[in-house]
Amino acid sequence: MSYLFTSESVSEGHPDKIADQISDALLDHFIAFDAKSKVACETLVTTGQVVLAGEVKSKAYIDLQKVARETIKEIGYTKSEYMFDASSCGILSAIHEQSPDINQGVDRTSDEEQGAGDQGMMFGYATNETDNYMPLALDLSHRILKELAHIRKYENELLPYLRPDAKSQVTIEYDDNNNPVRIDTIVISTQHDDFANEQAMRDKIQNDLINILIPRVKAQLPVHIRELFNENITYHINPTGKFVIGGPHGDTGLTGRKIIVDTYGGKGAHGGGAFSGKDPSKVDRSAAYAARHIAKNLVAAGVANEVLVQVSYAIGVVAPVSLLVDTKGTAKVNLTDGEISKIVSEIFDMRPYAIETRLKLRNPIYKETASYGHLGRQPETITKRFESANGIDVVEVEVELFTWEKLDFVEQVKAAFNI
């Protein structure tokens, strides 16, 4: 019997995502000036206020207020009527030094013996239902909001009433063989300027999003995904009727409160640890990226159609406690999941320092991850520029983004599994 599956996404202007982006922007600045920085930075945003908290051990001195304001401005909160804008919001910092009790378990004489920054389990997932090996409902939810943000920032004349806060949700119907057969429902809530006539506002926004936004999203997709769109899709556009009050004025935002949006949209699994604001010694982040790297390369190599990877750690301990590969019954090789797991553990070194090195994580690459998902993104090399607090020291660094999305182990995996 067919079934429905739903995933959601939120825009860069959503309060929780503002918090994530500020935390990762601060992390990038610390790492740019001191690659060995240890950072665990949390952000809270609410009406007219930003609160920064957390633990940092770094040789770098960062103008925290400047970084936060620049991030808020880039997102689009630049008008006083939003009740939260980059130039006037208050910013309070309560950041202090990292606990030496934690640090002694992480830092070692030899980099290779670096211990895990915390205990816990992390998951990586991949499926062949999309070209980027991500769950389709989440991929479409992200695409809708990325295109909406592109219109707001760069083609504002198309939808001149858009404000930064938005959410999307996509429901897919699957058949008995777990293949997507059609899009059932699309939900979009977008913040907007006030209108004199509320009914005219509702009609215009619904018409614009269905007839301007959705066709632009469809045009980005391969033919077999476009065919899932149909005339019977149920659309819920701004279902509350009005969405003028939004952003941090409408809802308090916190770092790490959108972990399912950040990962797999409810498919696979999640260990519970957030990503943003954490340097790569925190395996909550680095091991989750490494697990995704494993899962994606396994599916791309043809080991299985769907893969869930679990890895776990003890704080201060170098080697992972466990590593499991679950193929969900889709394995294409004549091996048990336990046998697959053993081979995978021999291919991929999951010690924290090995992960940092393999995925080039000791670089300022994190702000770009903090909206529209950390996974399923396109690897690319860019140059980033950072100014120190005194405005004199400037660092320009070329970095690789989303290295965990590279299919650079496919041939090695094929050789190991005789594919």
282 carries a ligand binding annotation = yes
Q: What are the strands of the beta sheet with 306-313, ordered from one edge?
A: 120-127, 306-313, 322-326
- The alpha carbons of the chain give a radius of gyration, in whole angstroms, of 22
The pair of three-digit structure tokens given for residue 53, joined into one six-digit string: 């908290």
Tell me whether residue 278 is annotated as binding: yes
Q: At what angle do helices 283-301 and 337-347 cross, to 10 degrees?
A: 110
**For residues 191 and 14, what is the distance between their CA atoms, to the nearest angstrom?**
10
165 carries a ligand binding annotation: yes
Q: Is 195 annotated as a binding residue?
A: no
55 annotated to a ligand binding site: yes
Q: Are 385 and 361 in contact (CB under 8 A)?
A: no
> What is the rounded (10 degree) CA torsion for 299, 303, 304, 308?
-70
111 is in an annotated binding site: no
346 labelled as ligand-binding? no
Does the annotation flag 167 for ligand binding?
yes
**198 in a labelled binding site:** no
332 in a known ligand binding site: no
Measured N-to-C along each axis, helices 64-75 and 15-33 cross at an angle, to the nearest 10 degrees, of 130
243 is in an annotated binding site: yes
What gap in Å lies between CA 53 and CA 240, rounded to an integer? Answer: 34
**Residue 382 CB burial class (10 angstroms; 0-12, 13-18, ≥19):** exposed
Q: Is 251 assigned a ligand-binding role in the annotation?
A: yes
CA contacts within 13 A on the Cβ side of 147? 21
Q: Is 367 annotated as a binding residue?
A: no
Task: Compute the distance between CA of residue 250 and CA of residue 141 in angstroms, rounded to an integer.
Answer: 22
Cα separation, 17 vs 374, in Å, equals 12
166 is in an annotated binding site: yes
Show binding-site residues for Mg(2+): 16
Show binding-site residues: 14, 16, 42, 55, 98, 165-167, 242-243, 251, 257-258, 274, 278, 282
Show binding-site residues for ATP: 14, 165-167, 242-243, 251, 257-258, 274, 278
Show binding-site residues for K(+): 42
Show binding-site residues for L-methionine: 55, 98, 251, 282
